[in-house]
Amino acid sequence: MKVVVCITGASGVCYAKRLLEVLRDKGVEVSLIVSESGKKVIEHELDVDLDYLIGLSHEYYENSDLFSPLASGSHIFHSVVVIPCSMKTLSAVANGYSSNLICRVCDVAIKEKRKLILMPREMPLSSIHLENMLKLSKLGTIIMPPIPAFYGKPKTVNDMVDFVVGRILDILGIPNDLFKRWGGI
């Protein structure tokens, strides 16, 4: 399984860090793309740098690299996860405006009917944001905002991050026990 992980400039890059760590531990092949704003938010919010995240991945592409193999539907990858997804990237993807590699790889996933998971982060959400999400949802895109549940009685921020990342792994079809499931399984 090859997963493309895209980090854009929304708050919550800790979710991407954890997802990359878990995918590495599970031996999943990962291609990483980070937007310029994503790089700035990583510097601001994380206690690790971009090189650490690149080190967790099999390959890394600049967001400006539209000559990357990932830009073509003829290159096989199974899923794309945009984590976190800014409202700007959400809007570009919803409108097929593929001016960078992250938007292009999402465009490819939609046209090739591959799995596309977006983790949009904004609060409150405007009608523009909601309409963009609805449009993408109707096309089969999975919209997964980082909303933790509390029935598992999380004790730390890491527990809450693991809940969100575990649910993403569920959607990717990767078995995991990152969080307590309802029903005590």
Ligand X SMILES: Cc1cc2nc3c(=O)[nH]c(=O)nc-3n(C[C@H](O)[C@H](O)[C@H](O)COP(=O)(O)O)c2cc1C
Q: Which is nearer to ligand X, 31 or 86 (CB)?
A: 86
Q: In the Cβ-directed half-sphere of 174, how many Cα atoms lie within 13 Å?
A: 21
Helix (H, G, I), strand (E, B) or coil at 176: coil
Alpha carbon distances (Å) from 80 to 109, 116, 123, 177: 7, 5, 24, 22
Residue 44 binds to ligand X (criterion: CB under 6 A): yes
Q: Which of 121, 144, 162, 163 binds ligand X (CB under 6 A)?
A: 121
Q: How far is the CB of 26 from ligand X (least distance, A)?
A: 26
Provide the token pair at 120: 């949009």
Burial 66-91 (b: 16+ CB within 10 A, else e): bebebbeeeeebebbbbbbbbbebbb
Asked if residues 77 and 59 have their Cβ atoms less than 8 Å apart, the reply is no
Quick one: which of 10, 81, 83, 101 contacts ligand X (CB under 6 A)?
10
Residue labelled with tokens 């690149």? 54
39 forms part of the interface with ligand X (CB under 6 A)? no
Question: How many residues bind to ligand X according to rule CB under 6 A?
Answer: 16
Closest distance to ligand X from the beta carbon of 82 (Å): 9
Judged by CB under 6 A, does residue 37 bind ligand X?
yes
Segment near ligand X (CB under 6 A); pick from 24-32, 38-46, 140-148, 172-180: 38-46
**Please, which residue, 6 or 22, has the CB nearer to ligand X?**
6
Give the residue at shortest CB distance from ligand X. Answer: 9
Instruction: Give 35 or 141: the residue with its C-beta nearer to ligand X.
Output: 35
CB of 74 to ligand X, least distance (A): 25
132 touches ligand X by CB under 6 A: no
Here the tokens at position 2 are: 């090859």
Alpha-carbon span 149 to 54, nearest angstrom:
30
Go through the chain and tell me how many residues it has.
185
38 binds ligand X (CB under 6 A): yes
How far apart CA 132 and CA 118 sit, in angstroms, is: 12
Examine residue 165 and tell whether it contacts ligand X (CB under 6 A).
no
Interacting residues with ligand X (CB under 6 A): 8-11, 35, 37-38, 40-41, 44, 86-89, 121-122
